[in-house]
Chain A
Amino acid sequence: MAQPPSPPPSEPNAPKYSPRLRATAVLVVVVCLFAALFGRLWYLQGVEANTVAVKSVAGQGIETVYIPAPRGEIFDRDGVLLAGNKIEQVVTVAPGAEAAHPGIVGELSALLGEPTAEVKAAINNVQYSPYQSVPVKEGVSNAVVLAIDENQSLLPGVSVQAEPVRYYPQGETTANIVGYISGITGSEYAQVKNEQCGPGIPCYQTTSLIGQAGVEASFEDYLRGTPGVEKVQVDSQGQVLGLLSYRPPVPGDNLVLSISLNDQRAAVQALNDWVIKARGMTDSVSGQYFRAPAASMVVEDPRNGQILALATYPDYNPDDFLGGISEARWKYYNNPANNYPLIDRAISTGYAPGSTWKLITATAMLKYGLRSPYAYYDDVGTYSIGGQNFHDDDNIPLGPIDLQTALTESSDTYFYSLGGQFWQMYDAGRDLKGPDPLQTVASEYGLGHFSGIALPGEDPGIVPDALVVAKEHSQYPKDYPDSVWEPGFEVQEAIGEGQDSVTPLQLADAYSAFANGGTLYVPDIALAVEAPGRADRPNGKIIKLYYPQVKNHPPVPTGYERDAMLQGFEGVTAAPGGTAYDAFKSFPLSQYPIAGKTGTAQVDDYCAPYTICAPGSVTWPAYKQDTSVFTSFAPATDPRFTVDAVFEQSGYGADVAAPAVEQEYETLFGLNQPAKQAACSPPSSTSSTSSTTSTAYGSASSTTSTTAPGAPCANPSTTTTTYAAGGANG
C-alpha cells in the first residue's frame, strides 16, 4: 500500500482519530465476510453436493406422456372389415394455451359451433396429462381445418391432428359380436391400472379407450396394442421445452373372426323379416297378435364349432358409443319398451326349448335302453302319472308311433311317457341329490353349462333336477312350493318345458354334436390373431390360431338308432306330416336335405277372460305368448351348417322360427343369388370368384354361395387353406 492519508493536522481535539486503524478494521470485516461466503460455498458444493436430497434434482423436470396405440382391426372370415380405424381430423389445444390466451375459448366455440362451456370443459379435462395436447373435437370438416390454419394468430396453441378413430362399417349387423369401445371408467381403470404392456409401460391411462362388449372386450388384450412413450423436458412452470425420447406406439393385433358377414347379414335379415311377419299373425291361445319383441339366430359349422352367424333382434348401433354415448341414446337402449337392444339374445338369454329338447330325451332313451327306436307307443293324446294328466298340444291322438314318427310329428305323449319312465326308474323313492340319467344326458350335450364362447355376457342356462328344486325351495319357499322332484317335473322336462332353460347357442351346439356324430365343440368366434401393419392384410404374420376345441362327447347314438333319430329329424321338413313341412315346401330338400326340429315353448298358462282360472295362470296383457323355436342341421347326410332360431312370443315354431331358418338356408346354400350361378369352381379357384377375393381362411359359406344349385361342389372344406377351418375333418 502506498502512503496512508495523513491525519488532518489542523484538528486539535482529535488525537485518537486514526484513519489507518479504522481502515484496518474495515479490512478485517471484509475478510471475515468473504471467508464466510467461501466457507458456505465449499460446504454446499464440496460436501452437500453428494447428498441424496440434492441428487433428486437430476430427475426433476422430466415428464412421461403416453400415446395411445391404434387399435387392432377386426375382420370376418373372408377378410371383410368389421371394425377399423379411420383417420379423423381432431382439433387439439396445447397445454397452457388457454391460460396464456383465454380468447381461444370463444374463437373455438364460434368455429366449432359448440357452447363455450363445453369447449372450456374439454380443454380443462383433468384426465389428460398437463404435458399433452387435449382433444376438443373429433371429426371436423376440412373447412374447419382450413380456418384454424389460416387464423393461427387468433388461435395460438390450437392445432389439427390426424388421429385414428374407431369405426364399425357393418354397424348394427355385427354389433352384438364385435361390440364397441368407450372411455375407461374410474372403476375399470382402478382394476387395470397395474397392467403392463411393456417394461414400465402401463396399458391404460385415465383417458384410454377400452373394449366394453363383444370381441372388442373379450380380445381386448390383443386389440389394444402398446402405448407409445414420450419423455418430455418441462420447466418449473410445466412448459414443455423439448422431447427427450420417443418410443412409438405399437398398433394392436388384428382379429379374424369365424363370422361370415354374408351369412350374418342374411340372419339379421331373416330375423327382421319374420319378426314383422309374426306381428301380423294371431295367437290362437290369447286371440291377440303376436308381440314378437325379440329373436335370435345362430349359424354354426358342426364340423368344428365355428360360429358363422350370431344374430339378435333388436340390435344397436356401435357407433353410438364412440366418443361417449349420449344420454338420450343410453336411455333409449335401456327403456323396457325398446326390448333392451344391448342384450345378445343368442348367448345371454335362456329359453324353454320346447320340443327341440326331444333330442335329449331320445338320446337318453336309447342310451338307457328304455325303448327300441322301432318300438311302437300308442299316442292316445294324453299321458297320466301321479294323478296328473298331460296333453298333446293339439289333443289329437296320433295312434301307435315309433321314435321316427314321434320326432317328425312331435308327439308330446311319446316323450311324456319317457319322462314318466325315467322318473319311475331313477327318481321314485330314491331321494336323488343330483341329476338323473335324463338330466345327465342334457348336461353331456352342454346344456346348463357355459358354452365357453369368447364373448362376454353368456348365460349358462338351467337343467333342473332334484337338487335344483330343493335349493330353490329352501331359498324361496313361497315361489317354489315343491321341495322334492315330482314326477310332473320330469314329464315336463322331457319335452323341454317347465324350468328348462337353454340359450340359442347351446341349442345349436347340442344339435351340432348330434350332427357330427358325437363331438361337442367349444363354439369358436375367432379364427386367428394376426400381426398388424400389413396393407395386404391376408396372411399377415399369425400370432395365434384358434383350433377347434372339443368340450365333451355326448352319448350320440350310432347305427340304426342314430338313423331312426336322423330320419325323424329329416321328416320334420320333408314328410307331409312333419311339423315344419309347410315351411320347407318350396326348398330343394332333395338337393340339400335338412334335418330339423320345431319347438313351441309355453311360457305362461293363459287365463281366458270370464273364466275361472287355474292357479298360476295369467291373463292378457301380462300373459307371455309361446316361444317359437326351430333348430336344424344340413345337409342332413353330411352336415356343414347348424342353424337355429328362437322368436319370443311368436307362437308355433313351425310358423315363425322354421321359415326364418329356411330363409337363412337359402343364403347359406346360395339359392337366392341366381346372378352368381355358375359351374362349380374347382377348389383352387374358389377364392378368385368370391367377392372378397383371396383370403387365407377360406369360407364354407362363401364357397357355396358361388356354386350353382345344379352342380353341388365337393365338400368345400377341401378348399381350405392355411388355418384348417375344417378341423373336425382334418
Chain B
Amino acid sequence: MALTTLPPASPSATAAVPRRPVASPAWRHVDVLLIAAGAGLTALGVLMIYSTTRVPLAAAGSNPEAEMTKQLTYAVVAFGAFLLTILFDYKRYLSWAPVLYIGSILLLLATLAIGRTTLGATSWIQVGSIEVEPAELVKVTFIISLAALLASRKGNVTGRVVALVLALSVVPFLLIYKQDALGSAMVLAVVLIGMLLMAGTKGRHMVVLAVLAVVAIGGVSETGILKQYQKDRLITFLEAPSGVATTDNASNPYAASIEYNLDQSKAAIADGGISGKGLFKGPETNLSYVPNQDTDFIFTAMAEQFGFVGSALLLALFGIVVWRSWRASIVSRDLAGTLICVGVLAMLMFQVFENVGMTMGIMPVAGITLPFMSYGGSSLVVDWVAIGLVVNVGMRRLS
C-alpha cells in the first residue's frame, strides 16, 4: 500500500536524512467515524433482529437467539470483507473493472439458471453451504466498473459516453430485473444516475435521460412488463389513506396484504411515540404484527421500541455514513475515487430513503434492505465492502 507512494518521494531519500518525510502510513487516515457509524448500525441491527425474532422462534420451539447469532456471524464476515477491501489501493480494483463487469454478468446469468426462488424472487444461489444473493454483490462491482469507465473521461462525458454507459448498464439491470429483484435494479439505476451526474454529464444529456426514464417507466407499467404484485405495490402506495379498503383491494388479496403490511408498519412506528415502548416491550414487534420485520421492515422495530429519539439517532448514524462518504468523495486524490464514493453514497442514500420511507408510507413498497441492519449476509457484506471502498479512497487521499 504505502509502497506505491514511495517513488515520488525518492529524490530526497538520497539525502540520508534519517527521518522519513511525508506520507504517513495510509492507515493513519482511516475514517474511524465512518467505521464507528457502520459498526453502530450493525450492532443496532443485530439487537433489532433479536427483538423481532426471539418470540416467534421461541414459540416455534427453536432457540430464540438463532437468527441473532447468524447475523452476528455475518457481521464478522462482513467486517473481514471490509478489512480486505481497504487492504489494497482501490486503483487495483479499478484496473480489474472489465473482469469485474463480465464476472458480474456471468454470475447473474448463473443465478437465473440455478438460482432458488424465495418470496417471488429468483435471486439466491448456493455456494457450498451458504446462500448468496448475487444482485447485492453486483451493486459494488457495478460501482467500480462505472467509476473506472467514467473517470477515464476526466469530466468530459459526451453523449456517446452516456450511450455507452447506458448500454453497459442495461445488461445487469435487465438480468436483475429478470430475477424479480426490482429493488436491486432500482438501486442500480439510482447509482448510475448519481455517478453520471458527478462524472460531468452535460445538462442536456441529463434531461434526455430523465425523459427516457419517464418513457421507460410508463412503457413498462402499460405494456405489462411489470408483474401484478409490482403494480400492486405501487397502487397501494398511491392510494392514500391507509386502512380504507377499496373495491379493488377487496378483489385483490395481495394488495390487501401489502396494505395490511403498511398499516401495521405505520402503526408500529406511531406506537413508539417520542420515547418508545422500550426494548422487548412493543406489542407490534413482540407479537410479530409487522410482516418481514427482521428484514425490509426492521426500521419499525427500532421506531416502536425506541421511539422518535431512537429512530432519529438511527437516521443520524446513516447521516454520518452518508456525510463521510460525501466528504471522502470531495477529498479523493482522483476522479475515480470521487466517483466510487458518490456511487456508494447514492446506493446507501437511496436504500435508506426508500426503505425508511416505505415503512412510513411515503415511498412505495419495494424489496430493498435497510443497509447494515436488515437480516441477511449478502447485503451486510456488500454494505461493509461499500464503505470499505469509501474508507479506501479516503485513507489514500494524500498518497
Contacts and interface: CB of A to CB of B under 8 A. Distances in A.
Given A19-B155, A20-B330, A60-B283, A235 B55 contact: yes
Interface string A590-624: 00000000000000000000000000000000000
Interface string B226-244: 0000000000000000010
B154 interface: yes
Given A19-B330, A40-B357, A41-B308, A49 B56 contact: no
A11 B55 contact: no
A375 interface: no
A45 B307 contact: yes
Contact of B349 (A1, A33, A60): A33
B265 to A, nearest CB: 10
Interface stretch (B130-138, B267-275, B382-390): B267-275
B392 interface: no
Contacts of A3: 331
B6 to A, nearest CB: 22
B198 A19 contact: yes
Contacts of A26: 194, 197-198, 326, 329, 342, 345
Given A19-B198, A33-B349, A33-B353, A14 B270 contact: no
Contact of A60 (B289, B352, B397): B289
A563 to B, nearest CB: 84
B74 to A, nearest CB: 26
B215 to A, nearest CB: 23
B119 to A, nearest CB: 17
B360 A54 contact: no
Contacts of B267: 53-54, 57
Interface in A13-33: 13-14, 17, 19-20, 22-23, 25-27, 29-30, 33
Contacts of A233: 287
Contacts of B155: 7-8, 11, 14, 17, 19
A236 B268 CA distance: 13
Contacts of B283: 57-58, 60-61
Contacts of A7: 155
Interface residues of A, number: 49
Nearest to B397: A2
Contact of B287 (A4, A13, A17, A235): A235
B288 A57 contact: no
Interface string B314-326: 0100110010001
Contacts of B333: 5
B326 A27 contact: yes
A36 interface: yes
Contacts of A2: 330-331, 397
Given A40-B357, A45-B269, A8 B335 contact: yes
Nearest to A237: B288
A45 B307 CA distance: 7
Given A4-B330, A37-B357, A61-B289, A241 B362 contact: no
Contacts of B274: 45-46, 49
B85 interface: no
A560 B207 CA distance: 129
B156 A11 contact: yes
Interface string B272-315: 11100000000110111101000000000001000110011001
A473 B27 CA distance: 118
B34 interface: no
Contacts of B303: 41, 44-45
A195 interface: no
B176 to A, nearest CB: 23
Contacts of B194: 26
A187 interface: no
Of B303, B330, B361, most A-chain CB atoms within 10 Å: B330
A48 interface: yes
B145 interface: no
A60 B269 CA distance: 15
Interface string A531-553: 00000000000000000000000
A26 B197 CA distance: 9
A41 B330 contact: no
B149 to A, nearest CB: 15
Given A13-B156, A17-B156, A38-B312, A5 B334 contact: yes
Contacts of A239: 56, 59-60
Contacts of A41: 269, 303, 308, 311-312, 315, 356, 360
B329 A23 contact: yes
Contacts, number: 162
Interface residues on B, range: 35 or more
Contacts of B319: 34
Nearest to A24: B330
B335 A44 contact: no
Given A5-B334, A45-B308, A40 B345 contact: no
B98 interface: no
A61 B290 CA distance: 13
Contact of A40 (B326, B362, B397): B362
B154 A46 contact: no
A8 B154 contact: yes
Contacts of A380: none
Contacts of A13: 156
B55 A5 contact: no
B357 A49 contact: no
B200 interface: yes
B123 interface: no
A44 to B, nearest CB: 5
A234 interface: yes
Contacts of B329: 23, 26
A46 B338 contact: no
B154 A14 contact: yes
A241 B56 CA distance: 8
A240 B59 CA distance: 8
A42 interface: yes
Nearest to B55: A241
Contacts of B311: 41, 45
B379 interface: no
Contact of A49 (B270, B318, B342): B270
Given A45-B274, A57-B283, A38 B200 contact: no
A33 B345 CA distance: 13
Of B271, B303, B338, most A-chain CB atoms within 10 Å: B271
B56 to A, nearest CB: 7
Contact of A44 (B266, B331, B345): B266
B315 A37 contact: yes
Contact of B315 (A17, A38, A51, A241): A38
Contacts of B116: none
B111 interface: no
A34 B352 CA distance: 9
A48 B362 CA distance: 15
Nearest to A32: B353
A379 to B, nearest CB: 90
Contact of B330 (A23, A25, A44, A237): A23
Nearest to A39: B362
B205 interface: no
Contact of B289 (A23, A40, A53, A236): A236
Given A26-B342, A45-B308, A54 B330 contact: no
5 contacts: A5-B333, A26-B326, A37-B357, A57-B270, A237-B288
Given A26-B345, A40-B360, A49-B273, 17 more contacts: A1-B331, A5-B330, A8-B155, A13-B156, A27-B326, A30-B322, A30-B345, A40-B357, A41-B269, A41-B360, A44-B266, A51-B270, A53-B243, A57-B267, A60-B283, A61-B283, A233-B287
Interface of A: 1-5, 7-8, 10-11, 13-14, 17, 19-20, 22-23, 25-27, 29-30, 33-34, 36-38, 40-42, 44-46, 48-49, 51, 53-54, 57-58, 60-61, 233-237, 239-241
Q: What 9 pairs between A and B have smallest CB-CB spacing? A: A17-B155, A8-B154, A45-B308, A61-B287, A49-B273, A17-B200, A235-B287, A54-B270, A2-B331
